[in-house]
Amino acid sequence: MSNVLSGKVALVTGGSRGIGAAIVRRLASEGAAVAFTYAASEVEANALRAEIEQAGARILVLKADSADSNALRNAVTHTVSSLGRLDILVNNAGILLRGTADSYELSAFDRMVAVNLRAVFVAVQAALPHMGAGGRIITTGSVTADHVGFRGASVYGMTKGAIAALTRGLARDLGPRGITVNVVQPGPTDTDMNTDAGVREMVSALTALGRIGNVTEIASLVAFLAGPESSFITGAALTIDGGYLA
């Protein structure tokens, strides 16, 4: 790997496992000092910290439920105070609470909006006072913003569609400051959300490549958007789905 992000500081929300952990590993391997949050996966978070430290990179682990706005703001503050600056914000934390509209609990609706959508805006607001020209804001969305594809994901798809719209608006707001804002929209990916073997086989057949994605592939796109070669990309929703939507 190169040191293209050497001297940069990144904060990744929801970084203890899955796509988030892959992003943490990739940004650290590119030379960035990385802070990441976790809500409940303490064992995984500490294991990832040890792994990154052993590789010689600077790492900061912060416990913060993204539904808690104060905890999220404090995570940004601690990142800056501990690592000295903030150049890259990756809004990765997200949850999927399935259910159809006829029986969906409003408490689940509110939780999904809080974690998947409101937290993105809260983190961006908290990060902006510390972010200068060349700053990067990247959010993990989903292809469900454009194609839900299965029952019980209407609220999830709504939050991901809203993230894409928010990204476009933020790109306009922050363009004059030289800060880019983009959303990465993974398709079917090998994570904790996709553990059913039958579903994985079915979804794999729906992609052009005949397989689901790997978290390292998602992380590679995030790393590109975090680097200097993506400086003219902003307001974009970049699909990475193996041709699922093709």
Is 168 inside any structural domain? yes
Is 1 inside any structural domain? no
Is 200 inside any structural domain? yes
Is 246 inside any structural domain? no
- What confidence score (pLDDT) does residue 196 get? 67
Whole-angstrom distance, CA of residue 52 vs CA of residue 177: 32
CATH number of residue 88's parent domain? 3.40.50.720
To the question of pTM greater than 0.85 for the whole model, the response is yes
DSSP of 149-182 = -STT-HHHHHHHHHHHHHHHHHHHHHGGGT-EEE
Is 161 inside any structural domain? yes
Whether residue 38 contacts residue 63, with contact meaning beta carbons closer than 8 Å, is answered with: yes
The residue segments making up the domain with residue 78 are: 9-240
Is 54 inside any structural domain? yes
Count up the domains in the chain and report the number. 1
Going residue by residue through the chain (246 aa), what tens digit of pLDDT does each one get? 679 999 999 999 999 999 999 999 999 999 999 999 999 999 999 999 999 999 999 999 999 999 999 999 999 999 999 999 999 999 999 999 999 999 999 999 999 999 999 999 999 999 999 999 999 999 999 999 999 988 999 999 999 999 999 999 999 999 999 999 999 999 999 887 666 667 778 889 999 999 999 999 999 999 999 999 999 999 999 999 999 999
Angle at 138 between CA 45 and CA 128, to 5 degrees: 95
Residue 21 vs residues 25, 51, 153, 189, 203: alpha-carbon distances, Å? 6, 11, 24, 14, 23
User: Where in the sequence numbering do the catalytic residues fall?
Assistant: 156
Is 192 inside any structural domain? yes
Is 114 inside any structural domain? yes
